[in-house]
Structure 1
Amino acid sequence: MSFYDEMAALADELLREFGKAVTLRRVVPGAYDPSAGTAAETVTDYPGTGALFDYETLGAGQTWMPSTLIEVGDKQCLLSPAGMPLPTTGDKLVDGTDVWQVQNVKAVNPAGTPVLYELHLRK
């Protein structure tokens, strides 16, 4: 086991201890059915572990104003990569009854080993 594999295991262990169960939801549009006037969707849920935080103005390096990267009410999620695909913009994060839209993803991925995903979330 490499050093980064150990760091990923440690991050997962800490998130399991201090975080909570969340679900990454990926919705992929399917083929359009002209007779029904709708497109089929494929929804895939990935259960995982994460911790949600409010953004701090100085820590985020952004202001809390409309039309900026971080807005009032946005959340940051530290997500364990264990059993999880790389989240993408447009995925959703389900936390109980709250559903958050993924705005941005930062993968902590030294030497090709995912250790942690940092998500910017918005309702």
Structure 2
Amino acid sequence: MSAFYDDMAATADELLREYGKPLVLRQVATGTYDPATSTAPATQVDFPGTGTLFDFALQSAGQAFSGSTLIEVGDKQCYLSPVGVPLPTAGDLLVDGTDVWQVKNVKAINPAGTPVLYELQLRK
């Protein structure tokens, strides 16, 4: 790992802590199917993190706001610090106080193998 990108990740985390807010990344994994109970128990793991939420800008989204496209009206854009948080995946949940958002898309800013920032597309 590069010391430069480690410093960039630390700077991004510092800025998100100063100007962002606490968020929780929730990963839910389905366990092994139990034929005796006909269920597959789910386990939930919460990772406290820091980030910011924004509405997608009309200019940057363009036609993506029409139905059946990648970005829909009401979706949020989240910048999440990777410090203490694993790489999110589509289907994970992001908890913001009482609001729970589903992760639809993830873009990891990961130069030289060092995660600096996660950019998420969220939907209720």
Matches within 5 A, 1:2-17: 2-17=3-18
Which residues in structure 2 correspond to 1:1-123 (within 5 Å)? 2-123=3-124
* CA distance in 1 between partners of 2:33 and 2:111 (Å): 40
Following the alignment from structure 2 to structure 1, what is the Cα–Cα distance between the partners of residues 118 and 62?
18
Distance apart, 1:62 and its partner CA? 4.3
Secondary structure, aligned partner of 1:10: helix
Q: In percent, how many aligned pairs have the same letter? A: 69
Structure 1 unaligned residues grouped into runs of 5+: none
Unaligned 5+ segments in structure 2 are none
Deviation at 1:5? Answer: 0.7
Aligned partner of residue 49 in structure 1, secondary structure: strand
> TM-score, normalising length from structure 1?
0.95
CA RMSD of aligned residues (A): 1.2
Amino acid at match of 1:108: I
**Higher strand fraction (1 or 2):** 1
